[in-house]
Amino acid sequence: MSERQNEKVTEWLEIDLDKLSNTDRIGLITEVMDALSAQDLRVIRDTADRKRQAKLKDARTAAIAEMRERFSQLELSFEEVLAAEGNKRTKRGSGVSAPVKYRSPNGDGWSGRGRAPVWMRNLEAEGHNREEYLVQSEE
């Protein structure tokens, strides 16, 4: 047993992970998990989460490096592109609401943009015309 301490389990069991498909690898892991206790599974979960976070960090770093290279080829900086994208987002959600175009008999307002509110749909279903509720000038 002492000679196995420096050897990976897959080596002394003679399992070549590279020859296994992802489905087979997951099946192997599932078989091992079936033999573990709830406490052991908690350790596995925590270990898997740490490994997942590390792989996501590596993938993020690689993607950013790749994007920096592409932007460099276009003579753009990564920061310029991010700033330009950020400006697009802030223009869209500026927080200024559209003026009320229609007002319900109860005083509810609607700008006329997007899907009609329930009160307008109900009135139209009753045979009313949308133009009946058009606001001439907002108070």
Domain range list for the chain: 2-92, 102-133
* Distance in angstroms (rounded) separating the CA atoms of residues 67 and 78: 7
Q: In this predicted structure, what is the pLDDT of residue 83?
A: 79
Q: In this predicted structure, what is the pLDDT of residue 63?
A: 93
Q: In this predicted structure, what is the pLDDT of residue 48?
A: 93
* Distance in angstroms (rounded) separating the CA atoms of residues 15 and 11: 6
Q: In the chain, which stretches have pLDDT less than 70?
A: 1-5, 86-95, 137-139
Q: In this predicted structure, what is the pLDDT of residue 4?
A: 67
Q: In this predicted structure, what is the pLDDT of residue 116?
A: 92
